[in-house]
Amino acid sequence: MSFLIIDEWLWADLNGENSPRAQGQSLNFIFAVFRKCDRIVIVKGSKFEKKAWSFTKHEDVRRREISKYFTRNFLYNSLKTHYLDSSSLPSVPSNLAGMTNYDDHYLIQACLVIEDAVVVTTDKSLRAALLECGKSCEHRDEFVQNYISRYGQ
């Protein structure tokens, strides 16, 4: 089992903001994560969690179905989601804080708590900072494509 710390790109993809292709690919990705024994790490109160709950308010058929799937299979499923309380997270080391956007610090904090987690992001500075300190961090495009190839339908 692996722990996946996913940046907010997932919500932009599933919302259709990045392209219909990215939406379909990210949907296949969450299907694959559900089928595999991996867990998504969510920091309570984070931008990721807020966007997840905001996504549930969509009323069009496609996004509503995606929302129902994610809510049922991840947000309410303790076997597929590992929640972290933001108040119990360690401070971001100053060297990492200076290299990254403040809005991404919760991702770094989660990575510090779950040391064997993989951070999946599109943010170049976050990725560079995490790799520099020996943390596992993958770019969304390569990771999602490889993950679906290995664990998808």
Would you say the C-alpha torsion 92, 98, 100, 101 has a positive or negative sign? positive
The CA–CA distances, whole Å, from 143 to 14, 37, 139 equal: 16, 17, 6
Residues 6+ apart with CB under 8 A from 26: 10, 13, 14, 144
Q: Is the pLDDT of residue 153 over 80?
A: no
In this structure, are residues 122 and 140 in contact, taking their beta carbons and an 8 Å threshold?
yes
> What is the token pair recorded at 61?
């058929």
Q: Is 138 helix (H, G, I), strand (E, B) or coil?
A: strand
CATH of domain 3-151: 3.40.50.1010
Tens digits of residue pLDDT in 21-46: 999 999 999 999 999 989 999 999 99
How high is the pLDDT of residue 115? 87
- The β-bridge partners of 42 are 83
Whole-structure pTM value: 0.94
Q: How confident is the model at residue 133 (pLDDT cuts 50, 70, 90)?
A: confident
Crossing angle (nearest 10°) for helices 140-151 and 20-35:
50
How high is the pLDDT of residue 75? 95
Tens digits of residue pLDDT in 74-129: 999 999 999 999 999 999 999 899 999 999 999 999 999 998 999 999 999 999 99
How high is the pLDDT of residue 132? 87
